[in-house]
Amino acid sequence: MSTEQNPSNAPEASPLGKAVAYCDQYAPELLFPIPRSGKRAEIGIGADLPFTGHDLWNAYEISWLNPRGKPVVAIGTLTVPAISPNLIESKSLKLYFNSFNQTRFESVQRVQETIARDLSAAAGAPVAVQLETLDQRPGRTLGTPEGVLLDTLDIDIDTYEPAPELLSAAGPVVEETLYSHLLKSNCLVTGQPDWGMVVIRYRGPAIDRAGLLRYICSFRTHNEFHEQCVERIFVDVTRQCRPLRLEVWARYTRRGGLDINPWRASEAMPGPGNLGEVRQ
């Protein structure tokens, strides 16, 4: 199922940034899909995607009632494939999870199946869902990528809207991982800040590190959703630096009980896993 771009599912029509009534009874209609196609067209992506990948969501505020009315609390991991025609607006997902709060379910498995069904319908492609109740003592490892941190470079920054012309690469082929904690963009609808770490792992001519850091910082006043920023970075690095192999992923900080971690790669390969960034 895909969602055509029309005024009813444009970002401005979402519940994001608006006062909404709290619903504590199961309501899948609260989910708000947004077509990926519009923003992809802006950066020259058509039906044939130049990448594979997924959006990995961690959800920390999921609760429902068991058949006897006793609350159950869980955390969830949601994997939305990049091939899905729609992304799911984050506030609508939070409201959707809130609608479980006073709803009785017979088992964790039934809740997991329900969420997977509803999110897959909204995204237009199968979404993988894994729930862990807190009595299982789930955990998540925090850490940093094995690579070169760019943030200590002593450089001037004067550009705060995406500037792909800052990117360049030259010389013999190298294989390395570069990362930065200085990624900041703004919500496409509300303009509120989104903070994250971005990682570029590639094989190809050496990317100029100062130019890459300037480029990452150039997103600082840019309005776009998390997934769209990562796809823009992937496309810009591909066009300007011509890597033979490329992965781009970001770890965005938590908002509304959710963190979003988009990953895009030039070829099929295992993803980077769910290693958390310290601010998550």
What residues are labeled active site?
Answer: 187, 194
Cα angle vertex 136, ends 107, 78, to 5°? 70
Residues 6+ apart with CB under 8 A from 7: 13
Compute the distance between CA of residue 41 and CA of residue 102 in angstroms, rounded to an integer: 41
Compute the distance between CA of residue 251 and CA of residue 195 in angstroms, rounded to an integer: 8
Which residues pair with residue 261 across a beta bridge? 56
Maximum CA extent, the chain: 67
- Please report where in the chains the tokens 């909204």 appear, as a residue: 122
- Please report where in the chains the tokens 């947004």 appear, as a residue: 34
Look at residues 224, 271, 278 and name the one whose alpha carbon lies nearest to residue 42. 224
How many CA within 13 A on the CB side of residue 189?
A: 14
What are the Cα distances from residue 254, in Å, to 7, 59, 161, 263, 267? 28, 9, 23, 17, 28
Q: How many residues does the chain have?
A: 280
Write out the two tokens for 160. 């705060």
Compute the distance between CA of residue 93 and CA of residue 97 in angstroms, rounded to an integer: 6
